[in-house]
A = this chain, B = another copy of it.
Amino acid sequence: MRKRKFFLLLIIVLLWHVDTIEAQDVAEKKINIIVIGAHPDDCDNKMGGTAALFAKMGHHVKFVAVTNGDAGHYTKGGGALAKIRRAEAEEAAKRLGIDEYTVLDNHDAELLPTLAIRNDLIREIRNWNADVVLTHRPVDYHPDHRYTGILVQDAAYLVIVPNVTPDTPPLKKNPVFLYLQDRFQKPYSFQPDIAVDITSTFNKKMEALDAHQSQFYEWLPWTSGRLADVPTSKEDRMKFLVNIWSRTVSPDVRESLKRWYGPQKGENIKYAEAFEICEYGKQPTDSELRVLFPMLNK
């Protein structure tokens, strides 16, 4: 027992040092990004490239899946499937180089905007000391996406209210909230207020999707009747992913790229991810956005 106490003491001393180092991180303006998607693969698919860029630059990125994905398969389900998807999410995080991938234990396809889940998200955002929060718009094809959007909207502002979830200290300031890109037009189409060049991390993003084997090689092909088309070799699989999941840069995202990267560079960017500013968080200026998205300055 004495030995144990000694080690614990030593650990405490060291953690102190680490904390000090962490404090230096802040001094160096490390950005804390939290991405909140509905299922364990949504964050990857919608902002995996940008996340990998942030990670490469030493910033702190966390992915959160609000549901455990326990419905997304044609022969598996329940807790058994949830365990597979959690492991896939952890592998994806490793491949992207991000800090954490938390999978909340709510049923897939049954998400509702309850107070309990809203409060869990408030805690996630606070504990990450988030500067930027990203999520789905409340218009999207899957009800879980829509309700995830609503839950995060409902968390905005409350993250600074100390009487809300008082077990977790409030943020000092309301973060910037951003929406992930989608293709829906009503009641208005996605506005690419920011667009990030992800060409350099595009392969990492595809590697992250590849980690979600139960999704990109099983469930999603099944839903579109293409299960037979899924290749088996790693090389072919990567081509298969690129083929299906690399979005062409749309005209309005191209405009945004030009705005942020200059007309010439913007014109030639191959892969991009775009984000829309949510009105319920901090409304940043362009120069504040360049601080929060330092890759826009390169």
A40 to chain B: closest CB distance in Å?
11
| Nearest B-chain residue to A110, judged by Cβ | B115
Question: Interface extent on A, as a size class?
Answer: 35 or more
Residues of B within 8 A of A18 (CB): 4, 7-8, 11
A139, B186: Cα distance in complex, Å: 12
| B186 lies within 8 A of A279 (CB) | yes
**Contact segment of A149-157, A198-206, A239-247:** A149-157
Interface presence of A187 (CB below 8 A): yes
Name A95-119 residues within 8 Å CB distance of B: 103-105, 107-110, 112, 114-116, 118-119
Contact A105 B79, CB 8 Å, known A18-B4, A167-B68: no
A185, B187: Cα distance in complex, Å: 11
| B77 lies within 8 A of A81 (CB) | yes
A269, B186: Cα distance in complex, Å: 29
Interface presence of A176 (CB below 8 A): no
Contact A105 B165, CB 8 Å, known A15-B11, A143-B153: yes
Count of identical protomers in the assembly: 6
| B11 lies within 8 A of A166 (CB) | no
Interface presence of A158 (CB below 8 A): yes
Name A1-19 residues within 8 Å CB distance of B: 1, 3-4, 7-8, 10-11, 14-15, 17-18
Contact with B along A65-101 (1 / 0, CB 8 A): 0001011111111111111001000000000000000
| Nearest B-chain residue to A108, judged by Cβ | B163
A68, B165: Cα distance in complex, Å: 10
A83, B186: Cα distance in complex, Å: 38
Name A145-189 residues within 8 Å CB distance of B: 146, 153-154, 156-158, 160-168, 184-188
| A187 lies within 8 A of B188 (CB) | yes
| Nearest B-chain residue to A85, judged by Cβ | B166
Residues of B within 8 A of A58 (CB): 1
| Nearest B-chain residue to A164, judged by Cβ | B109
A14, B4: Cα distance in complex, Å: 9
| A166 lies within 8 A of B109 (CB) | no
